[in-house]
Amino acid sequence: MFDKKIEKIERKYVNALLGLNLLLLQKGTKTSYERETRARDRRVRKLMKEAYKIPFYRERFDRVGLKPKDFTCAEDLYKFPTLSKNELRQWMEEETGKDKYEYYYLDTTSGSSGTPTSVYYSPREKSWNMANWMRVLIRGGYNPLLGMTASRMSAHSVSAGQKNIFQKAGYLRREFINQYEPEPVVIEQINSIKPDLLYMNKTELMRISLYAKKHGIPMHHPKFLVPTGEMIDDQARALFLELFGDGLVDAYGAAEFGSCMTRYPGSDHWRIQGDLFAVNICDDEGNPVDEGNVCITPLYRTDFPLINYLVGDRARQGFDDDGNRIIVSILGRSNDFISHADGSLTTFFMVAPIFAKSKEIVQVRLVQKSFEDLLIQAVAIDDLTDEDIKAVEDRIISQMNEKLKQPMNISFEWMDVIEPDANGKLRLIVNEMK
């Protein structure tokens, strides 16, 4: 009961906590790699002590026969079991709705890896998450106090467009862009706001970039452009630089833990936020390798830990000229578009809410066969009857054709599991047209 009272206060004053945590993080902005490593390892020790108190993790300690004292640094985390997305999802389903999380934040992923995942943040953890993101931007040269930020509208936001006392006074300015609007509307919003920092899903940004290039529409050049949600491939990088200028920031992260490493303009590698995150690269058995699976442990998440979380991407690590550990390449997910005969495009994020709200489906992939034909590959929960399946199909086909730029002939293929692509990634939209 006492903890809940504290959490209620922390939630009310979460922005004050953000400011305090940002000051603490800024003190370490120019510290040496060695000092950052010491801070990281100190947080590893605290995290493992807290995790040991949680039944879900206590079982994992017992499984490998280890205690918190056996973990003194980030490298020791290789000895601990990895956490898959499915394991996290199952754990979250067990925890969702419990009274002790009354004042926690409940965030949901986009579902762009096959199935949406909900994650809890305590108010304290949420403030660290936001402070870390502020620091990422400040390290790149952005001034969040005086700058103008334009970001895509979150499907889970209940306060988008509302301005607090600081924003009304001209500080921490932020405007929201409805990325689901037609391309000309989104482009007009960006060009009229003229943001210093533009923050949007990579797929949506690609959609409006292709439209602007095709129609010769000049785009406002923000000082910083942050595409999110998917990896920025070389073709997308070239297009963004051409249309929006050279302020491209590649921030790697996820809704489950925030931004853990960043590739700043002009850089050829990703800088790890090493005091708040342990980023390990492992093989399929969890052993350390130079190139393998990305394994993330957010060290500020001690109330609801995510230890050795496998995000589903692969990376290669190395060292810079000063001997500091860096990430030199990342292989992540990159979705196709659903394309239409009139040249318009439908992105996954336009239809994602349909599947996020379809509790009968645990995994999905959309395969475009032609301008007229779309196949939905889906994995259902175990206890659906034939009548249930038919009802799900009818509902989703109707909702899809309301969202698609042009209606299509939609069919279903029900599967036991949807296998990833040859590169190990799972694209949610696969366009098989030439």
* Distance in Å from the first CA to the final CA of the chain: 61
CB atoms within 10 A of CB 348: 25
- pLDDT tens sequence across 231-245: 787 778 888 999 999
Predicted local distance difference test score (pLDDT) of residue 113: 52
Residue 50: predicted pLDDT: 97
Same-domain status, 302 and 423: no
Q: Do 149 and 196 meet the contact criterion of CB atoms below 8 Å apart?
A: yes
Query: 54 and 116 in one domain?
Result: yes
- Is residue 197 domain-shared with residue 314, that is, in the same domain? yes
Q: Do 73 and 16 share a domain, yes or no?
A: yes
Residue type, 119: V
Query: Do 194 and 97 share a structural domain?
Result: yes
Output the domain CATH number for residue 377: 3.30.300.30
152, 428, 240, 154: CA torsion to nearest 10: 10
pLDDT along the chain (434 residues), means of 10: 79 88 75 82 97 96 97 96 91 87 81 66 94 90 89 57 62 84 93 94 85 93 89 81 93 90 91 93 92 95 95 88 85 78 84 82 89 93 88 95 92 86 68 82
Q: How far apart, in whole angstroms, are the C-alpha atoms of residue 296 and residue 293?
A: 10
State the pLDDT at residue 306: 96
Write phi, then psi, for 53 (nearest 5 degrees). -80, -10
pLDDT digits (tens, 9 = 90+) for 161-175: 556 666 666 677 889
State whether 173 and 310 are in the same domain.
yes
CATH assignment at residue 122: 3.40.50.12780
Distance CA 320, CA 283 (A): 23
Instruction: Give the ranges where 107-198 is alpha helix by DSSP (H).
Output: 123-139, 165-168, 183-193
Query: Do both 349 and 316 map to the same domain?
Result: no
409 with 274, same domain?
Answer: no
Residues of the domain holding 351: 338-431
DSSP character string of 381-401:
-TT--HHHHHHHHHHHHHHHH
Same domain, yes or no: 174 and 314: yes
Last residue of a domain, one of 299, 331, 363: 331
Please identify, among 316, 331, 346, the residue that sits at the C-terminal boundary of a domain: 331
Q: What is the pLDDT at residue 155?
A: 47
Domain boundary residue, one of 313, 331, 349: 331
> How many structural domains does the chain have?
2
What is the predicted pLDDT for the residue at 156? 43
Residues 126 and 221 in one domain: yes
Name the CA dihedral angle for 134, 272, 77, 87, rounded to a multiple of 10 degrees: 60
State how far the Cα of 6 lies from the Cα of 11, in Å rounded to an integer: 9
What span, in angstroms and rounded, lies between the C-alpha atoms of 371 and 359? Answer: 28
Q: Is the domain of 327 the same as that of 311?
A: yes
Residue 242 and residue 349 in one domain:
no
pLDDT the model gives residue 190: 96
Strand order in the sheet with 271-272: 250-254, 258-263, 271-272
pTM as predicted = 0.77
d(CA 60, CA 63): 5
